[in-house]
Amino acid sequence: MEFSALASGSSGNCFFIENNSSGILIDTGISAKQIIERLKSIGKNPNNIRALFLTHEHLDHIKGCRVFSKKFNVPVFGTFGTLEKFDFNKNEKFNIIKNNETIRISGMEISAFSKSHKAKDPVSYTVSNGKKISIITDVGYPCNNVISNIQDSDALCIESNYDLNMLENGNYPYFLKNWIKSDIGHLSNNDSANCVFENSKPRLKNIILSHLSENNNTPECAMNAFSILRKKNFFPNILVSTRNLPTPLLKV
């Protein structure tokens, strides 16, 4: 498989995974036009996308979904809590899945698992074809589902949302700071790095740090937190995703 974070951050998230020239998108939080442009920029044909998978109903994860689905005639998968946001009709290709369901597409098994976040029925996904890629963002704390999927992953896109000092000393209102830090909010750089440090296995070769806050984080802060991995002589390839450009394609 090949994968790329086409966009990831507080203003938009979209992840591409491909197996044998057939691809899927996990989240579509940028416009359909941007998705098409970014796929082409990494040498991929948007006509080869076979399905869209949504993690939850927040705009930075669903923005381009309906337009892209209609333009390329591809199905959309998400939990009931996610898809009811769309008020879709029978002529649209919206498919309700359960938070422990596996969908098989083009030699890939896409498995949804529940997580803690302030949304109606949020999930994250793993994609497997013998190897395993996990896409884990918008997570309040590392629950057992998150931990078990990190343990089994060959590649990982994981939330590294905020630097605690930047958040606490920034200008966000008190209630928003508390929500971000809560068990239904987001993972800090240190939370994310410690979770990977404690639970990853040598099979994990590639990590993309994702969903960085524009106001409460920097790529340097996120990468510095993940330097903890060196303490166990663990040196996976680590990249930081951005809102404006896709990451290079990585192979699993």
Q: Give the CATH number of the domain where residue 167 resides.
A: 3.60.15.10
Nearest to 153 by CA among 201, 99, 100: 201
Mean pLDDT confidence for 107-129: 97
The yes-or-no verdict on residue 20 having pLDDT over 70 is yes
* Percentages of the chain per state (helix, strand, coil), in multiples of 5: 30, 25, 40
**Which domain does 38 fall in, by range?**
2-251
The yes-or-no verdict on residue 1 having pLDDT over 90 is yes
Q: What is the pLDDT of residue 91?
A: 67
The C-alpha angle with vertex 175 and arms to 169 and 178, in degrees rounded to 5, equals: 65
CA atoms of 240 and 213, how far apart (whole Å): 12
Q: What is the pLDDT of residue 40?
A: 98
Q: How many domains does the chain have?
A: 1
83 within 8 A of 55, measured Cβ to Cβ: no
Q: What is the pLDDT of residue 89?
A: 72
- pLDDT tens-digit profile of 149-184? 999 999 999 999 999 999 999 999 999 999 999 999
